Each structure stands twice: as structure tokens, then as C-alpha cells.
Amino acid sequence: MKWKHALTAMTATAIVAPAPASYAAELGDEARELAQQLQEDANPQVRMAALLTLGETADRAGRRELEAKKGAEAEREKLAVGLALMLSGDRSATAYSASILKESATTYAHLRELVFALPASVQKTLLAATLDEADAATRRDVFRYLAQQSGDLYGMLQDSLTSTNAERREDARVATVYSARPEALTFAEQMLRSRDAGVRKDATTITAAFLDKPDSRVELVEVLEKALDNRDEAVKREAARQLVRLGEDKGAAPLFKHAATLEPADRAEILGFLVEHRARVRLDEIRPLIEATEDQRDRELLYQLAAITGDDAVYQELVAMFRSDQFDKRLVGVQALGLTRRAEALEHLGRGLFEGQREIRLHSARGLGQIANPEALTGLRRAVTNERDKEIRLAAVEALGNIKDRGSVQVMRFLTTDQDPEVKRQLVASLINTGVPEAAQALEMLLRDRNLDVQWDAFVGLLKLAPESAQRHMSTALRNPPQQFTDALNPQELSSEVRKSLYTAMLNHSSSRVRQAAIAQLERYRETLLPLAKELATSAGLNPEVRAELVYQLASSGDAKIAATLESVVRLFGEEPAAIVAAWALAREGQADLEASFRGYLGRDNPLMRAIAAYGLARID
């Protein structure tokens, strides 16, 4: 009882005021004594934790004792000795520790399990030395680790992104693109100013990783718009492309300007890209090229761009060409009429849908979808029912999806029993694209399809259109999803309620494949899924390995408010691996207000937890 009262008084003192230097020294002595008792423990993890404490509290004699331990047989213990010496201030320890990491076959595991326990400043010194003249495998392990960190550690990627070593730069870019943290956009903006063309090109690869992250859209557009003024023409064009993909017309003009300087065959891809994204280009810039070109494909694409402007004179020209008895002119008209988005064009394209010439039927179906008017449903119904050409049939199904009307869904319901998986997948995409509530019933029917891809696509559609229905079918959908099933999932495109339900189910799933897929998504979209990870980390019944990964991601996020969650994990799940990860994350920070927690951990039966607690006490300044 006396001990408990003394501990309470000591805790109150620690909370009220920072520890004075003399008190910090007392803590160091206490921690060193505990570490000396544990350094011969049978568990190597306990011994390594004790070594870090001995390093943190070492004087000159202590450093000599640590030096003597370099002869350990196990690689991990040798590394722990090196890290301990780094904490002691030994100048040669950085090179020694880095050499072990470079030569190891398990560098990444060492980083996560040992280096993670060091304060960020010490980690930064060690990892910089490890990257120096490292082989490709070591480099990738270090970058993979850094990509999961935050603050100055994550910032280390930026140094390598501008390296003169092309291979090092590439490995850093791959890691940066994979995690695509918001800070990476700042990296890209600065890289765009580099004198190195390779660095500037890599910057646009990084920005491209944010095209499917709508939460970063404003910042991305800002970076890309600045890139339009870049001195590097290739960078300007790539930035323009990305802006066009985002639906920003500001990217269209520079792309078209470049295309105008090329021969027809060379500019076809650019023009096709602009048409695909319905980018708006000024008609007075398109006209001279139309009048000058003699190339059929060039004329088709230029008139499609002209049609997007909505100009009435262009529309009349297209109608005249569609009525022509010359096939090449008809081909120009039929491909562009739909892009005018005019209801008057329905009559012409509706007739074209049933002509004898295949190309006219195909482009008529696409044009009806571009106009997206319910009056086209009668003709499209006949096409999806009677058309024998698969490509035309697919185009008609796609067109139905653009018509956001319940009548379109009624037509598509008859296709749920179609035997062609490709038609079924297009059907699902079209049902989702309508955005109408009635599409949910058809999607529910497709959940029972024999094709796993069709089933999963239908489920993803329900997540967007009918969340309540998706939740009812969630366990079935996740039972055996197709390979790469998360490719269709973007947590930033889901409501917070749906996101919580789906990823909670995935992280709690009995299948390791589903759990690992969820963790990979957490790595890719950490800024979005972090609140859920924080909630689940302290929830009962979670798979211990998953909890440990959630805690690792939380601890690596740099969130200043995460300490309370980490303390809760240690308190509630002290026997799980997650508690060890959380304790290391708390211990490395050296915060005086955590002394009471560390003293509580000293009372645990687990010697590893006691060893980590001693390290935490030693870290308090």
C-alpha cells in the first residue's frame, strides 16, 4: 500500500511539472538498473530492448561495455548493439549499424521491429547512412519503410527524389507514388523546378498518383496549373493531360496547340484523348485545321472536337454530312453528332442504329449515349435485344447507362440473364452510371451471377447506389472476392458510413487475403482511413495481427493526438503484439507526462513490456 501511495504522489508530481534535470538523471539510473537485470533474459526481444536502454543511459564505461557486445552471433542483437551505441552518442555506431542493415537479408523487418523504436532524429541519421551506396534491395526496403512514416522521416524521400542517381531516384519515386501522402504534392511542386529533366518527369508521375484521390483535388489542380508554365514542354503537356482528366478545360488549349503543330497521323492520339474527355477547344482554333486537312481520321476527330463546342453551324454541317451518299462524309457526321448533345440529332442517330453498314450502327449507338436523352430508349432497346454484333451491342448497353432515367434500368433488367460475362460487366457499369435508385434491384440480381467479377462489380455498385442493400450483402460479397478486388474500391469515393462498414468488415474478416487487402488500402489511403483505424485499434475481437498493423500505421502517422489511443491499446490488449508496438511508439518519444504509464508497465508480468517501459523512462529528459 505504501508503494502505491508513493507512486500516486510521484505521478502527480510528474503531471504537474516537467522533470528537472536531476530527476531525469534519477530516472536514467533507475532505468539502467532495470535494463541490467533484463539484459540476460532468455527472450532475445527483451535483451534487445534492454540494450537500447543501456545505450540511452550509457556513460563512457557503459559504451565500452556495449562495444564488447558486438561479438554477438545473432544479426539482430548485433544491430541492437549498434543502435544502443548510436543512442549513447558513439560516433562510429552509425556506420556500424548501417553496414548491418545493408548486408541483411531482412532489412525491412529490422526497420519495422528495431529501428522503429528510435527517436526520429536518430532514425534519420541511420537511414541516410544506410542509403549511401546501398544495393537495390536495401534501397527499396528503406524507401518502403519511409513511405509509411511522416514528418522528417517521410521527407527523406524528397532528397532521394532529386538524386543524381537515377536508380535511387526511381526507387524513391515508386515508394512515394504507392503511398501518395498529401505531402508528396509539395515534393512534386518543388521537383518541377529542377534543372534535371528526369526529376521533372518524375514529378508528373507523382501528381498522376493523386488523380484518383478526390480529397486532394484542389491542391493537385493548383500544382498542375503552375506546371503549365514550366519551361519543359513534356512536363507542360503531361500536366495539361492530367488537368483534362480532372475535367479542367484549362488543360485543353496547350494540348491542342501542340497537336496543331503535328502531322495528322502524329496528332491522332492527342485529339482522341481530348474527345474522350470532352475537352472544350475554341472553334476558331479548330477551323483552320479542318479546312487544311486531307486525312480522313484527322477530319473525323477535328469535327468531333468542333461538335463539343455546341456551335449551331457545326451541327448543320454534321447533319448534311450524315445525310450524304458518300460513306467517308457520313462517318464524320455520325461520330460527331452525339457530341453536340442536341435532341434534334436523336432522329438521325436513331435511324443510323439500324442501317446496314456496321460502322454507322456502332457510332449511332455511341452518339445516342452521348446525347443521353430518354427518347432514345426505344431504339436502344431494340439494339441490345436484336443486334448480333457484340461491339455494337456493348455500345448500346453503355449508352443506356448514360441515360439517367428509370426507363433505362427497365431495359437493362432484361440483360441480367445474358450469358456473356463482358456484356454483364458493361451492364453493371451502366446500371451504376444511371445513378437512379431503381438500378439497385438489378444489381442485387447480379450478385448471384456465376462470374465472380460480375458479382463484385455489382456489390461495388450497391455501395454507391444503395448502401443499406450493400450492407445486407456484405458478408456474402466478401466471402470469395475476385483477385485484385480492391482495384474497384476507392475509400475517398464512399460515404463515411459505408466506408466504416466495409473496411471494418474487411479488417475483421476470417480470410487473411481480405484482411491484407484492407491493410494495403490503409497504406494507400491512410489519411482517409486513419480515423477508422484509430477506432478499431481499441475495439474488442479484432484479429491480433490486424490490430498490430493498425497501431503501427497510427504510430507512424505523426498525429500528435495519438498517444491516448496507444496507451489504451497497451492497457486493454497487453498480451497482444499491438501492445508491444504501441509501447515502443510511446517510449521513443521521451515525454515526461508518460512517466506514470511507463511505471504502470513496469508492473506487468511480461518482461518485454517491462524492458520497453525502462527504455521509456530513460528517454525522458
Widest CA span in the chain: 105
Instruction: Give the mean pLDDT of 590-616.
Output: 95
Q: How far apart are CA 219 and CA 154, in angstroms?
A: 19
Give the pLDDT of residue 14.
40
Give the pLDDT of residue 23.
79
Q: Is 20 left (phi over 0), alpha (psi -120 to 50) or beta?
A: beta
- Residue range 492-519, pLDDT digits in tens: 999 999 999 999 999 999 999 999 999 9
Give the pLDDT of residue 28.
84
Q: Would you say residue 17 has pLDDT above 90? A: no
Q: How far apart are CA 349 and CA 330, in angstroms?
A: 11
- Residue range 24-51, pLDDT digits in tens: 788 888 999 999 999 999 999 999 999 9
From residue 581, give the alpha-carbon distance in Å to each of 196, 245, 492, 537.
41, 41, 28, 12
Instruction: Give the mean pLDDT of 178-187.
Output: 96
- Specify if 519 maps to a domain: no
The identity of residue 137, as a single letter, is A
Start-to-end CA distance of the chain, whole Å, equals: 29
Number of alpha carbons in the 13 Å side-chain half-sphere of residue 505? 15
- All three cell numbers of 548, joined, read 498490430
- All three cell numbers of 283, joined, read 472553334
- Specify if 193 maps to a domain: no
- Residue range 296-334, pLDDT digits in tens: 999 999 999 999 999 999 999 999 999 999 999 999 999
Q: Would you say residue 10 has pLDDT above 90? A: no
DSSP state of 164: S
- Specify if 358 maps to a domain: yes
Total number of domains constituting the chain: 1
Q: How far apart are CA 460 and CA 486, in angstroms?
A: 10
Handedness of CA 514, 516, 522, 523 (dihedral sign): negative
Give the pLDDT of residue 9.
38
Q: How far apart are CA 601 and CA 586, in angstroms?
A: 12
The identity of residue 563, as a single letter, is A
From residue 352, give the alpha-carbon distance in Å to each of 86, 317, 337, 382, 393.
77, 17, 11, 13, 14
* Cβ neighbours of residue 266 closer than 8 Å, sequence gap 6 or more: none
Residue range of the domain that includes 332 = 310-403
What percent of the chain is modeled with pLDDT above 70?
Answer: 97
- Specify if 352 maps to a domain: yes
What percent of the chain is modeled with pLDDT above 90?
Answer: 94
Collapsing DSSP states into helix, strand and coil, what is residue 504?
helix
- Specify if 486 maps to a domain: no
Instruction: Give the mean pLDDT of 241-267.
Output: 97
Handedness of CA 511, 512, 515, 516 (dihedral sign): negative
How confident is the prediction for the chain on average, in pLDDT? Answer: 94
Give the pLDDT of residue 3.
38
Burial of 328 (0-12, 13-18, 19+ CB in 10 A): exposed
Q: Would you say residue 55 has pLDDT above 70? A: yes
Q: How far apart are CA 310 and CA 462, in angstroms?
A: 35
Strands (E), 264-409: none
- Residue range 516-546, pLDDT digits in tens: 999 999 999 999 999 999 999 999 999 999 9
- Specify if 225 maps to a domain: no
CATH number at residue 390: 1.25.10.10
- Specify if 203 maps to a domain: no
Instruction: Give the mean pLDDT of 573-591.
Output: 95
The identity of residue 204, as a single letter, is T
Report whether 522 contacts 550 (CB < 8 A). Answer: yes
Q: What is the enclosing helix (H) or strand (E) of 224?
A: helix 217-227
Q: What values do phi and psi take at 538, rounded to 5?
A: -110, 15
- Specify if 34 maps to a domain: no
Instruction: Give the mean pLDDT of 338-361.
Output: 96
Give the pLDDT of residue 21.
64
Give the pLDDT of residue 68.
94
